[in-house]
């Protein structure tokens, strides 16, 4: 049986200790590495060393405390995004008490695959880890409703703006090379840089260069917008 390798960035020592004790009862999950970050500004060096260790020995799943993620992004968003790019194979689950819908949408765009509320308990967390490890996304029922409601509100609020932006971006797709269009198509299938590189017989560095060019030429900011743009392109082409 292939074990799910887990890394944890926690805020509280007690929570990490309880989690570690609970995980010992699971034959398919192993705690690879963990760290307590109580104050990101003070503990930044330890955080960076921990992330570098993950890059060298990537876990399958990273449990990231929501408060620590918020503080680290506030102080060094560019660095956090760079680390996320280097940890593409690792799936991220954010663990917190409660969530703001707008923040959840932003984190989804940043590549987070799971959102877990501590109040749900250990048994649900184990289930969440297994679900995300299979490549699926985890929301509990309450959060799904909240996020979908927020998405609906944003769509209606920005309806006219989105239409004009779509036409603008579709025109800019003409600037992309055939290879860049291939990469864009694979992004729309939620493939990682490494998977795209393997599919197209390229190096991950070359794929990253193509992505940067696509974002600049098409005036898009992230992979979610890229996927939506390509889906719209396919619809308009038929």
Give the C-alpha separation, 22 to 16, whole Å: 10
| pLDDT for position 166 | 44
Fold match between 4-152 and 158-237? yes
| pLDDT for position 70 | 82
**What pTM was estimated for this model as a whole?**
0.61
Is the pLDDT assigned to residue 238 strictly greater than 70? no
Give the C-alpha separation, 13 to 180, whole Å: 46
Report residue 13 as tokens: 């020592």
Query: What is the CATH number that goes with domain 158-237?
Result: 3.40.50.2300
**Residue 237's pLDDT band (cuts 50, 70, 90):** low
Give the model confidence (pLDDT) of 153-193 as tens digits.
Answer: 665 555 444 444 444 467 888 899 999 999 998 887 767 78
Give start and end residues of each alpha helix (H) in the chain.
Answer: 13-23, 44-56, 66-86, 101-109, 122-133, 141-157, 159-172, 178-187, 193-200, 204-218, 223-237
| pLDDT for position 19 | 92
- Does the domain at 4-152 match CATH 3.40.50.2300? Answer given as yes
| pLDDT for position 198 | 92
Is the pLDDT assigned to residue 4 strictly greater than 90? yes
Give the model confidence (pLDDT) of 77-133 as tens digits.
Answer: 777 878 888 888 899 999 988 777 667 777 877 788 889 988 889 899 999 999 899
**What ranges do the domains of the chain cover?**
4-152, 158-237
Burial (CB count within 10 angstroms: exposed 0-12, middle 13-18, buried 19+), residue 102: exposed
| pLDDT for position 207 | 93
Give the model confidence (pLDDT) of 206-232 as tens digits.
Answer: 999 999 999 999 988 777 678 777 777
Is the pLDDT assigned to residue 48 strictly greater than 60? yes
């Amino acid at each position: 049986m292939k074990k799910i390798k887990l890394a944890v960035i926690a805020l509280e020592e007690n929570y990490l200790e309880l989690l570690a004790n609970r995980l010992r009862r699971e034959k398919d999950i192993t705690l690879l590495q963990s760290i307590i970050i109580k104050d990101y500004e003070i503990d930044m060096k330890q955080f960076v060393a921990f992330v570098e260790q993950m890059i060298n020995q990537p876990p399958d799943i990273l449990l990231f405390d929501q408060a620590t993620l918020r503080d680290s992004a506030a102080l060094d968003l560019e660095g956090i995004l760079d680390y996320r790019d280097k940890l593409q194979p690792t799936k991220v689950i954010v663990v917190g008490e409660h969530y703001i819908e707008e923040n959840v949408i932003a984190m989804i765009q940043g590549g987070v695959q799971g959102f877990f509320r501590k109040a749900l308990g250990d048994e649900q967390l184990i289930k969440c880890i297994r679900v995300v490890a299979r490549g699926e996304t985890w929301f509990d029922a309450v959060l799904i409703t909240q996020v979908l409601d927020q998405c609906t509100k944003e769509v209606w609020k920005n309806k006219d703006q989105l239409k004009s932006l779509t036409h603008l971006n579709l025109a800019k797709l003409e600037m992309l090379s055939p290879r860049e269009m291939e990469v864009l198509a694979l992004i729309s299938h939620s493939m990682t840089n490494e998977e795209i590189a393997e599919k197209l017989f390229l190096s991950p560095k070359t794929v990253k260069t193509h992505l940067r060019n696509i974002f600049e030429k098409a005036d898009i900011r992230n992979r979610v917008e890229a996927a939506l743009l390509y889906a719209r392109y396919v619809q308009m082409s038929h």
